[in-house]
Structure 1
Amino acid sequence: MPWADALAGLSIAGLLLPEAVAYSGIAKLPPQAGVIALFAGLACYGAIGRSRFAIVSATSSSAAVLAAATLALSNGDVAQRLLLATVLVSLTGLCFLVAALARLGAFSNVIAKPVLRGYAFGLALVIAVGQLPGLLGISAQHGQFASLLLELGRRVGDWQSASLFTGVAALIGLFVLERIRALPGPLLVIVAGIALSTWLGARGVALTGPIALALQMPSLQLPAAAQWMPLAGLSAALMLILYAESYGSIRTYALKHGDEVAVNRDLAALGIANLVSGLFHGMPVGAGYSATSANEAAGAGSRLAGLCALAVVLALVLLFLPWIERIPRPVLAAIVIHAVSKSLRPAVFRPYLQWRRDRLVALAAVLAVIAFGVLNGLLIAIAFSLLMLLRTLATPRLCVLGRLHGGHDFVDVARHPEAEQLAGCLILRPEEPLFFANAEPMLAQARAKVARHADAAVVILSLEESPDLDSTALEALGDFSRWLSARGQALRVTRLKDAARDLLLRAALPQLSPEELNYWSVEDAAQATVAAPAQKS
């Protein structure tokens, strides 16, 4: 439906252009950096990508990460920061392309959803607070969250009432207009701001200022040799953030409309878009949720909507650039705050509180971003989530199984007291996969339980939770089987996955013959244990 796509593109163009200029301010880059990124993202993804709803442009999260990274590496040198931004965006594009060639489409899954949601909430809070100086018409000396809030509180007397009134009015307008889907709220607010720019400027309200969009040939100056290693690490982190955000947007609407997700092709499309944006001195780009959801809500039916939006934005830039330069800065700050406000909803944490799962992980992500900054906060949050996972897996939990109601089901006797333990055998089941961090303590618990059941001639070990075994777990199993053999007790291993069974066969543990590995269920091993004494008699 070309007409529907054209109307959708026309509708979202009014959102994309002001957001591109506003996100440039978050990245501490000239306004044209966001506009160039918008052109690169829409053109490259429209030509290569697969999602019919994804809108690839600069995003608030990547802009904040870019600002934090370049400010940390440039030591305040503006020219050096612009150079580092170009290199970092280009390297991010190369990271995307390498990931696409290596078919690492599932790589973003290393970031757990609670981390992403906590990070998005904390990042939105940091970005919103970072826009307050523009909203208040002052130039802040501090950039960190707490320091900036303290500075703003101390400088109440410096707040410009005209700037504050303009920003608050723009925010109210954006929140009111977002309820009317047929109207491009940001564009209307921008037009109103431009119409009043002369009157506002006379009262001290700052305007956007000149935007230099003279197209330069692609260029990439090389930074100092000592900066390559940190740039490589930062580009990988930026790629991970962008893809996690983009994949979330793309997958959400693909599931909603029954579309397929071409993960590795989208990686390549994002890689080329970032590489082109970097070479032309633009910002990093990704499929942001706000623009993608606006495109779907506007009725887009194919990638043609994004290309139509590109044409509209190009016409606006060519014909109305002098007017765009007159956008009041408090209006741009209001647009950024409105854009990130969707991530500032505490309701996103309700499931974790209700499920009583990953609450600490989500909270740690929020606090890490606020306390340690945008980039370090994400890395700390990821590390914390992995540590919590390792802690759970490394905490040995071993249960004793009994037969439930005389049937074929075996359950934990601690949770089901009515379950009957079989005479002459002890059935044990580790509740986590056996691996190097928990194998020794897990089997130490098993020894303690065996010692309390001295009448058990056979110990049945159910390894249904272990898809595979590492060498530490294998050695621990060998020690456990020898310990049982010395006590005159037999070991039978049941519910083995194929990989674990193949490994135990290759290991050929003397106390664990191949016959003892052939029990596919706990019931089979239990019946063999009961039948053995009967055969002897």
Structure 2
Amino acid sequence: MNALPAWLRDYRREWFAGDLTAGLIVTVMLIPQSLAYALLAGLPPQVGLYASLLPLVAYALLGSSMTLAVGPVAVASLMTASALQPLATPGSPEYVALAMQLALLSGVMLLAFGALRLGFLAHFLSHPVISGFITGSAVVIAVGQLPHLLGVKIQAHGVWETLAALVHALPQTQPVTLALGGGSVLFLWLSRRFLARGLARLGLAPGTSELLTKLAPMAAVLVTTALVAGLGLAERAGVRIVGAVPQGLPSLTVPLPSLETLGPLLLPALLISLVGFVESVSVAQSLALKRQERIRPNRELVGLGAANLASAVSGGYPVTGGFARSVVNFAAGARTPLAGVISAALMALVVASFTGLFHHLPHAVLAATIVVAVTSLIDTHTLKEAWRYDRGDALSLLATAAGVIALGVEAGIAIGVACSLGVLVWRSSHPHIAVVGRVPGTEHFRNVERHRVETVPGLLALRVDESLYFGNANVIEDRIEARLAADPGIRQVLLVCPAVNLIDTTALGVLTELQRSLARRGIALSLSEVKGPVMDRLRGTPLGQALEGQIHLSTHEAFEQARRTLGAV
């Protein structure tokens, strides 16, 4: 009994209605998404359905979120296509096998990260980088679906090449396909913007209106499939359709990669794992906060790893937590992961008995559902906020998005991480240094340029708001020398160090030489508010010995000693 997950051991009967409702609604939403995202990944449509079966059960047993909906998602599908298209022909048996191997490797990596308790890895991809990556991916995905909406076939890779090829292919546009795809885009966009509001005006509860709006893609699929089948548009107008979808549950197999394919798949598997984990945890945490629940990042690694292993052995491809489905799952009343298990059972029923219903489903409509879904991922809000608050983060976001669009998924992530690290290094190498004085009548010290404070003639009190290391040690020395040159009357330099968590070897050497240089000029160097771990390392060094008696517990103490030493009144 102890092997059961906590939510199942403590399950309450009153939760079942919410879980059942959420499972039903998410299934209706998941069917068109699974088919569409498989198309986006370059895979046969049934692979998307397979990836919506066992992964949901595996995550329910091992994940920590009560409402995260796992399955195929747009970004992971794009990354899958980006990784596999150079290795095999999309849709071929070899391509499908590689997708399963990619899921297997991703699952193994996530499980290993979970076992090693590496949940903190999520923090290495900053929010602007993730936002820029998803925004760039959304643009790439949307542009990639335009040929399906127009009913044209082109051979192109990348956004610019695709757009250029589309311009030349416009005369071959199929009017009926464009009508179906364009009409679906318009319907889905109008539904997203106005349907919930209209239903609310008709008297439906706001929550119900929002849930019905999320089911608009399924309505588009049903109506257009009926039109294509009833009017014979595939034969008469050349509308591309999904065609025969194999019926029956997938067989279980272990898709072990060969040595030849292992190398090319390792980096894509790692990137899919990291991006999927970060995206899933952010969604899970935002939903958990609404119910005062807790998300355990290391447990999420295990849950997502198990979900990807389950997808691999059941004929699927990499999966992760989906934002839109998770929000719908939460809003529909899901209380526990049983909602995901119910969705998996319903999807199994569809795969086993009803795949024939998808035969006449037009590709243009699946492309329309993808386009409308991913355009909502273009995150202009974060860009505006970052531009107002922190230009460095905004530039990282833009660089990541531009890298994904111009150079591809892997290059985009590399550019984003490099930009984030570059901004971090630049900031730490240009620390904020303030001349401080004492607020009258207190023991508090503040920037002389921001506050009316008391100073001691002959004392230069500098607060360094950064750890001291090889990247900024000389900057601090240069700032001190500039102050000394501007005021020849300075007889004592006080470094206020409450923000200094580290003094590395290079900085120690710079400070040691600075102390000696100042001493030769008759200027004393002292420190205040040095943290314990920093002080422990200074003891026994030449600098620590030279400053004996000049390292003060508080800046107030150093200030008073300077008043006495310098003869201030």
Partner of 2:122: 108
Q: 1:368 to 1:532 in 2, by over 3 A?
A: same
> Structure 1 residues 309-318 or 160-169, which shifts more?
309-318
Partner of 2:522: 488
In the alignment, the residues of structure 2 paired with residue 325 and residue 104 of structure 1 have an alpha-carbon distance, to the nearest angstrom, of 44
Pairing partner for 2:245 from 206, 211, 230: 211
| DSSP-derived class of the 1:343 partner | coil
1:128-527 superposed matches below 5 A? 128-178=142-192, 179=196, 180-183=209-212, 184-198=215-229, 199=231, 200-201=233-234, 202-212=236-246, 215-225=250-260, 227-357=261-391, 358-405=393-440, 407-416=442-451, 418-507=452-541, 509=543, 511-517=545-551, 519-527=552-560
State the AA in 2 paired with 1:60: A
In the alignment, the residues of structure 1 paired with residue 331 and residue 169 of structure 2 have an alpha-carbon distance, to the nearest angstrom, of 42
Q: State the shift of 1:506 in Å.
A: 4.7
Q: State the shift of 1:243 in Å.
A: 0.7
- The answer on 1:24 being equivalent to 2:38 is yes
State the AA in 1 paired with 2:495: L
| DSSP-derived class of the 2:526 partner | strand
- The answer on 1:46 being equivalent to 2:60 is yes
In the alignment, the residues of structure 2 paired with residue 221 and residue 53 of structure 1 have an alpha-carbon distance, to the nearest angstrom, of 32
Contact 1:492-1:512 within 8 A present in 2 as well: no
Contact 1:397-1:442 within 8 A present in 2 as well: no
Q: 1:80 to 1:479 in 2, by over 3 A?
A: farther
State the AA in 1 paired with 2:402: L
In the alignment, the residues of structure 2 paired with residue 451 and residue 229 of structure 1 have an alpha-carbon distance, to the nearest angstrom, of 59
In the alignment, the residues of structure 2 paired with residue 194 and residue 103 of structure 1 have an alpha-carbon distance, to the nearest angstrom, of 47
- The answer on 1:86 being equivalent to 2:120 is no
Query: Alpha carbon RMSD of aligned pairs, Å?
Result: 2.3
Contact 1:83-1:223 within 8 A present in 2 as well: no
In the alignment, the residues of structure 1 paired with residue 86 and residue 515 of structure 2 have an alpha-carbon distance, to the nearest angstrom, of 56
Contact 1:208-1:328 within 8 A present in 2 as well: yes
Contact 1:119-1:369 within 8 A present in 2 as well: yes
> Structure 1 residues 406-415 or 436-445, which shifts more?
406-415
Contact 2:141-2:371 within 8 A present in 1 as well: yes
State the AA in 2 paired with 1:94: V
In the alignment, the residues of structure 1 paired with residue 95 and residue 122 of structure 2 have an alpha-carbon distance, to the nearest angstrom, of 28
Q: 1:485 to 1:49 in 2, by over 3 A?
A: same
> Structure 1 residues 447-456 or 459-468, which shifts more?
447-456
In the alignment, the residues of structure 2 paired with residue 292 and residue 365 of structure 1 have an alpha-carbon distance, to the nearest angstrom, of 26
| DSSP-derived class of the 1:189 partner | helix
Contact 1:37-1:57 within 8 A present in 2 as well: yes
In the alignment, the residues of structure 1 paired with residue 417 and residue 146 of structure 2 have an alpha-carbon distance, to the nearest angstrom, of 29
Q: State the shift of 1:26 in Å.
A: 1.2
Task: Identify unmatched segments of 5+ residues in structure 1.
Answer: none
Q: State the shift of 1:482 in Å.
A: 2.1
TM-score, scaled relative to structure 1: 0.93
Q: State the shift of 1:295 in Å.
A: 0.9
Q: 1:396 to 1:47 in 2, by over 3 A?
A: closer
In the TM superposition, structure 1's runs of 4+ consecutive aligned residues that sit over 6 Å from their partners are none
In the alignment, the residues of structure 2 paired with residue 72 and residue 478 of structure 1 have an alpha-carbon distance, to the nearest angstrom, of 56
State the AA in 2 paired with 1:96: L
| DSSP-derived class of the 2:154 partner | coil
Q: 1:77 to 1:318 in 2, by over 3 A?
A: closer
> Structure 1 residues 496-505 or 269-278, which shifts more?
496-505
Q: 1:376 to 1:80 in 2, by over 3 A?
A: farther
Contact 1:93-1:271 within 8 A present in 2 as well: yes
Report the identity percentage. Answer: 30
1:287-306 superposed Cα distances (whole Å, 9 cap, x missing partner): 11111111112121221111
Q: 1:395 to 1:173 in 2, by over 3 A?
A: same
TM-score, scaled relative to structure 2: 0.88
Contact 2:32-2:217 within 8 A present in 1 as well: yes
State the AA in 1 paired with 2:447: D
State the AA in 2 paired with 1:446: I
State the AA in 2 paired with 1:300: A
In the alignment, the residues of structure 1 paired with residue 354 and residue 89 of structure 2 have an alpha-carbon distance, to the nearest angstrom, of 36
Q: 1:355 to 1:510 in 2, by over 3 A?
A: closer
Q: State the shift of 1:220 in Å.
A: 2.2
Pairing partner for 1:529 from 562, 565, 569: 562
Q: State the shift of 1:215 in Å.
A: 2.3
Q: 1:149 to 1:96 in 2, by over 3 A?
A: same
Q: State the shift of 1:397 in Å.
A: 4.1
Contact 1:402-1:411 within 8 A present in 2 as well: yes
Q: 1:534 to 1:380 in 2, by over 3 A?
A: closer
Contact 1:485-1:511 within 8 A present in 2 as well: no
Contact 1:135-1:333 within 8 A present in 2 as well: yes
Pairing partner for 1:72 from 86, 104, 117: 86
| DSSP-derived class of the 1:132 partner | helix
- The answer on 1:15 being equivalent to 2:13 is no
Contact 2:152-2:169 within 8 A present in 1 as well: no
Q: State the shift of 1:324 in Å.
A: 2.1
In the alignment, the residues of structure 2 paired with residue 494 and residue 41 of structure 1 have an alpha-carbon distance, to the nearest angstrom, of 57
1:252-311 superposed Cα distances (whole Å, 9 cap, x missing partner): 111222111111111101011112212333111111111111111212122111111112
In the alignment, the residues of structure 1 paired with residue 472 and residue 556 of structure 2 have an alpha-carbon distance, to the nearest angstrom, of 26
In the alignment, the residues of structure 2 paired with residue 422 and residue 75 of structure 1 have an alpha-carbon distance, to the nearest angstrom, of 76
In the alignment, the residues of structure 1 paired with residue 133 and residue 53 of structure 2 have an alpha-carbon distance, to the nearest angstrom, of 28
Q: State the shift of 1:345 in Å.
A: 5.0
In the alignment, the residues of structure 2 paired with residue 267 and residue 510 of structure 1 have an alpha-carbon distance, to the nearest angstrom, of 46
